[in-house]
Amino acid sequence: MDENYRPYIIDFESAEQHDCQKSMDIVFNTEEPKWEEFNCDELYEACIEAQAWRPRTVDYLRREIPLKVAVSAKELVKHAPKGYSYEAAWAAALRVVKELQEWFDERAFFDGRSPTDPLPYYGRD
């Protein structure tokens, strides 16, 4: 990100040519595709780093749970794997939902700021 919160990709001096097999356009603020659907590891990683997409799943007690289940700890705890005590599952659910909320809050903050930020001024007189 630059000082105006615009994402850009750097370090092309260490880049290598590759025959890109990317199979879809990158559409910001849509659900994260599965990497095997997207089909380019490099751009996929860059998009994850830049938070281009909404997360598709959350990691809850080493399980991938769809985002729509993680709307509340009360819903999420129903998907706890067997072998966890209710207390441990509940604590983990609270933590996952809190982290997800923070992720969305941060996104809202940056998304809300970037359109009103001034464009960089290049010293024209």
Residues that bind Zn ion (CB under 5 A): 20, 22, 40
Q: Closer to Zn ion at the Cβ: 16 or 87?
A: 16
Q: What token pair was written down for 13?
A: 């001096």
Q: Closer to Zn ion at the Cβ: 18 or 82?
A: 18
Which residues on neighbouring strands pair with residue 31, listed in sequence order? 54
CB of 101 to Zn ion, least distance (A): 33
Q: Closer to Zn ion at the Cβ: 35 or 109?
A: 35
Nearest 5°: the CA angle 110, 47, 105 is 30
CB of 54 to Zn ion, least distance (A): 22
Give Cα separations from 73 to 40, 56, 57, 68 (angstroms): 34, 17, 15, 12
CB of 49 to Zn ion, least distance (A): 15
